[in-house]
């Protein structure tokens, strides 16, 4: 089965916030490990999550990894995004109907308290020294 990724951003009136999810999707796709990668948004920006999922599937993905481009776990990552996917609370995998076919969707965790993020913070501090 071929994989694909949907990077989900919050959505914002501020263009640079939208650009973050789009750039992350682009960087993941350039690495070539996960198949086609698209960005989508919870609100305010296009495409929305269902359209983004459809775009990944139309590019050949049969298993789609939905990864929230969020730093912390919160209501959006635990309830809102899974709800749009049609998942029950706590569900992380399941079949979703896209363009008349069942697609396996696997919902990933946000960045959270990953120790690698401290390295980025250290780089930002050093840049100001």
Model pLDDT, residue 121: 94
Q: What is the pLDDT along the chain (129 residues), one digit of tens a residue?
A: 799 999 999 998 888 888 999 999 999 999 999 999 999 999 999 999 999 999 999 999 999 999 999 999 999 999 999 999 999 989 999 999 999 999 999 999 999 889 999 999 999 999 999
Model pLDDT, residue 17: 82
The two structure tokens encoding residue 55? 């775009």
Give me the active site residues, please.
Answer: 10
Domains and CATH numbers, the chain: 3-127 (3.40.50.1400)
d(CA 37, CA 66): 10
DSSP calls for 74-88:
-HIIIIIHHHHHTPP
Strand locations in the chain (E):
3-9, 37-41, 63-68, 93-98, 101-107
**Phi/psi of residue 113, nearest 5 degrees:** -95, 40
d(CA 105, CA 107): 6
Model pLDDT, residue 67: 98
Instruction: Give the helix/strand (H/E) hosting 48.
Output: none
């Amino acid at each position: 089965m071929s994989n694909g990724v949907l990077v989900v951003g919050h959505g914002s009136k501020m263009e640079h916030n939208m650009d973050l999810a789009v750039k992350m999707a682009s960087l993941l796709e350039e690495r070539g490990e996960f198949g086609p990668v698209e960005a989508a948004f919870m609100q305010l920006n296009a495409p929305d999550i269902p359209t983004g999922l459809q775009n990944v599937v139309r590019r050949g993905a049969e298993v789609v990894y939905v990864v929230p481009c969020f730093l912390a776990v919160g209501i959006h990552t635990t309830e809102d995004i899974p709800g749009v996917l049609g998942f029950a609370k706590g569900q992380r995998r399941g079949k979703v109907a896209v363009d008349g076919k069942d697609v396996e969707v696997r919902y990933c965790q946000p960045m959270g308290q990953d120790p690698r993020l401290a390295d980025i913070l250290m780089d930002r501090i050093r840049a100001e020294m």
